[in-house]
């Protein structure tokens, strides 16, 4: 209790419990990830020493343990229970760790140093209660429903899994299968009922929209790994309706094939939401592929008051517009945006084609170009897009919006 109240953290609580119980203590969550353990030099059980070294229990270990009669009986009880294992001679005592009535892990007492005492069952139960209070401070354990799955995704996002063999082993343990067309979907909960919480309603709706796609609560948001392309019908109707109803924003990464790249594409999804909120504040769904250009811009470029992001030749059009109260700058942008199609451009600008032709002739003389140089046309168009983004970003900084 003193270790908990002092705020020393999980490791200090576990070490204190080991000293009081006079045997090593190991904490692992429901995904069989090792969360904490006491002094490693006291643990002479080769199986658990190996589990601690790897940081998690292998699929084969989990499968073998699940078949043990003593474990199956113990799962039916809320009391501490002893486990008998033929592989090692050490006695083992286990107590469940529960947060809000939901089991999130176990605390294991290994009889490596001393025989168990009569009160050890009770003391281990108290230890589990204190550990639950400490682990319950973590929003991940409060929000997680399927810890095996959600812990696997979190480990990918934290780049803790870089070996494909280990990834496959963890996937088997979590009952997951993935193809080779993966997407990271990031759901921003900032404006969801003003709290950003991950409740049962969201879980059910996401399961309906994306059946079979695993997700987790991570850094205050929902991260989902989706296998395969998103259908236009889903995106255009059901998904847009869901986002509108909840106020949630969604960032979608590019397709990737290797789960070791999960962190990179998660960051891409996050940037899609951030940059999308600048480009189109009312739009709640943004693809990373649509904002890649802007991700390359540094803050120095975006917030530079000297407007260095403008193509110098386009400034000639702005200067001409200022003097003659014309709109050549905008006309040229619409012309480029429409792939230099005269009819579409004149229709969008609501002007006659002859009027447009006159304006384009004037632009051609001012820029000293005949519009046939594709590289130069691309440079002009990129300049327009960058300039528009920088102006929106600066305006949003002056007057923050949702």
Cα–Cα distance measured from residue 35 to residue 108, given in angstroms and rounded to the nearest whole number: 11
Instruction: Report residue 176 as tokens.
Output: 């997951």
Give per-residue pLDDT as tens, 114-158.
Answer: 999 999 999 999 999 999 999 888 877 776 677 788 888 988 998
The whole-number pLDDT of residue 2 equals 85
Q: What is the pLDDT, as a whole number, of residue 401?
A: 52
Compute the distance between CA of residue 81 and CA of residue 70 in angstroms, rounded to an integer: 8
**Residue 401: φ, ψ to 5°:** -125, 165
Question: Using one digit for the tens of pLDDT, what is the confidence trace for 74-95?
Answer: 888 888 898 887 777 788 999 9
At residue 70, the pLDDT reads 85
Output the pLDDT for position 397: 63
Please identify every stretch of the chain with a pLDDT value under 70, giving residue numbers as ranges.
143-144, 194-197, 296-310, 397-402
pLDDT of residue 400: 52
Q: Indicate yes or no: pTM above 0.75.
A: no
CA distance 298 to 171: 38
Report the alpha-carbon distance of residue 203 to residue 38 in Å, rounded: 36
pLDDT for 140: 74
| pLDDT for res 371 | 87
Residue from 143, 209, 224, 214 nearest 174 by CA: 214
C-alpha closest to that of 88 among 63, 61, 59, 67:
61
């Amino acid at each position: 209790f003193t270790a908990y109240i002092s705020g020393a953290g999980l490791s200090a609580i576990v070490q204190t419990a080991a000293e009081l119980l006079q045997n090593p203590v190991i904490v692992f969550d429901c995904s069989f990830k090792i969360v904490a353990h006491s002094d490693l030099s006291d643990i002479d059980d080769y199986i658990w020493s190996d589990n601690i070294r790897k940081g998690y229990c292998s699929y084969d270990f989990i499968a073998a343990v699940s078949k043990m009669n003593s474990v199956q009986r113990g799962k039916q009880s809320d009391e501490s229970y002893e486990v008998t294992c033929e592989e090692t001679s050490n006695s083992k005592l286990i107590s469940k760790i529960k947060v809000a009535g939901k089991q999130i892990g176990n605390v294991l007492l290994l009889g490596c140093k001393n025989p168990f005492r009569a009160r050890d069952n009770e003391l281990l139960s108290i230890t589990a209660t204190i550990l639950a209070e400490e682990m319950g401070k973590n929003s991940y354990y409060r929000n997680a429903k399927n810890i095996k799955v959600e812990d696997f995704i979190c480990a990918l996002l934290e780049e803790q899994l870089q070996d494909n063999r280990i990834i496959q082993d963890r996937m088997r343990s979590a009952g997951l299968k993935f193809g080779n067309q993966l997407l990271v979907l990031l759901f921003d909960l900032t404006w969801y009922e003003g709290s950003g919480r991950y409740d049962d309603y969201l879980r059910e709706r996401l399961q309906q929209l994306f059946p079979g796609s695993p997700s987790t609560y991570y850094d205050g948001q929902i991260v989902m790994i989706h296998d395969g392309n998103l259908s236009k019908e889903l995106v255009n109707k059901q998904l847009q309706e869901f986002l509108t109803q909840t106020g949630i924003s969604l960032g979608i990464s590019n397709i990737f094939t290797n789960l070791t790249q999960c962190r990179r594409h998660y960051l891409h999804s996050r940037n899609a939401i951030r940059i999308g909120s600048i480009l189109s504040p009312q739009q709640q769904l943004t693809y990373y592929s649509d904002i890649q250009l802007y991700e390359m811009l540094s803050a120095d470029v975006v917030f530079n008051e000297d407007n260095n992001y403008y193509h110098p030749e386009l400034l000639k059009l702005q200067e001409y517009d200022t003097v003659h109260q014309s709109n050549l700058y905008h006309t040229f942008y619409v012309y480029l945006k429409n792939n230099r199609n005269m009819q579409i451009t004149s229709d969008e600008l609501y002007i006659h084609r002859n009027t447009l032709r006159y304006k384009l002739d004037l632009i051609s003389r001012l820029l000293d170009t005949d519009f046939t140089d594709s590289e130069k046309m691309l440079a002009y168009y990129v300049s327009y897009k960058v300039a528009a983004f920088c102006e929106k970003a600066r305006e949003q900084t002056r007057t923050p919006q949702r």
